[in-house]
Amino acid sequence: MLLLSVALIVLVGSFLQANIGFGFPILAMIFFPSLFPFSTAVTLNQVIAIASTAFISISYRKHIQWRILIPLLCSSLIVAQVVILFSLSIDASHLTIVLGFFLVLLALYFAYFSERIHITATPRNGLLMGLVAGLGNGFFGIGGPPVALYLFAAISDKKAYLATIQAYFFFCNVHSILVRSLYGSLLVTHIPLILVGWAAIGLGTFTGLKLFNRVSNHLLKRIVYLFVGLSGLWIALQQLL
């Protein structure tokens, strides 16, 4: 039953991620903490996700916007390193509520003002957004929403957006897995779950990319804003209720 639950969560999450660039970690972290200890849930989430992020990053490698990615990634990894070590010893429930409502406000802001306010992809803006994403990555393994909103505003080409955000996730996944594994979050007994997860994420990514090529930029942007808002609301309400 556990293997089937993981497979279904991963299948739906990876299909979503292949279309809007993120979403699997959020969906996984809605359900995984009820199945595993919190740090293990985050680590399994990222070990399974790395199969998809690596595949898409390699497939779309020519479209990766390194100039935009590097400042974002550098600040994110530095902050995440500190936060991961801190989060291993605290109760994250209150922080989860804050994260949830922050995502709702962020989505509402971009949904209403994204057409009027254009974020310039400067090193300073990348470093600032990486800081925000690093907090989410470090505590919850969820850094996608702020990164997606920033990259959508900074990159006009759909394929360049997908390639850049997946490359960001790949490097963050590698970093988090290494750090958390050193502190016992990943065990040999988790291998069957990981293998099932990789099979499901392969299927979800393949079918998701088929649909991605048919979705317009305008519709994709609206889906991103809606999913960020709804996921933030769900994360916060889970803890409050």
Give the pLDDT confidence of 82-110 residue by residue, as tens digits: 887 777 666 656 666 766 777 677 667 66
Report the percentage of the chain scoring pLDDT > 90: 15
What share of the chain has pLDDT > 70, as a percent?
83
Going by pLDDT thresholds of 50, 70 and 90, the confidence category of residue 65 is very high
Cβ atoms of residues 148 and 224 within 8 Å: yes
| pTM for this entry | 0.76
pLDDT classification of 241: cutoffs 50, 70, 90: low
> Is 117 a residue whose pLDDT tops 60?
no
The pLDDT confidence band at residue 62, using thresholds 50, 70 and 90, is: very high
Residue whose entry in the numeric block shows the structure tokens 């006009």: 156
- Identify the band that residue 211 occupies on the pLDDT scale cut at 50, 70 and 90: confident
**Mean pLDDT along residues 186-211:** 87
Please determine, for residue 6, whether its predicted confidence score (pLDDT) is greater than 80.
yes
Token reading at 54: 């690596």
157 by DSSP, 3-state: which? Answer: coil
C-alpha span between 45 and 197 (Å, rounded): 9
The pLDDT of 6-23, averaged and rounded, is 79
- For 194, the token pair is 């990981």
Model confidence band, residue 122 (pLDDT cutoffs 50, 70, 90)? confident
* More confident site: 219 or 36: 36
Largest CA distance in the chain: 51
For 42, 112, 121, 177, 211, the CA distances from 46, given in Å and listed in that order, are 6, 32, 27, 7, 24
Mean pLDDT of all residues in 175-188 = 82
Tokens at residue 61, please?
Answer: 């490698």
Place of tokens 């959020």: 26
Whether the pLDDT of residue 239 is over 90: the answer is no
Number of residues that make up the chain: 241
- Interior/surface letters 30-59, b for 16+ CB within 10 angstroms, e for the rest: bbbbeebebbbbbbbbbbbbbbbbbbbbee
Q: How far is CA 101 from CA 91, 179, 241, in A?
A: 18, 28, 14
Q: What is the pLDDT of residue 88?
A: 66
DSSP state of 34: G
Residue type, 166: Q
pLDDT bracket for residue 1 (50, 70, 90)? confident
What mean pLDDT is reported for the chain? 80
Look at residue 113 in the predicted model and tell me its pLDDT.
60
Least confident interval from 9-23, 97-111, 146-160: 97-111
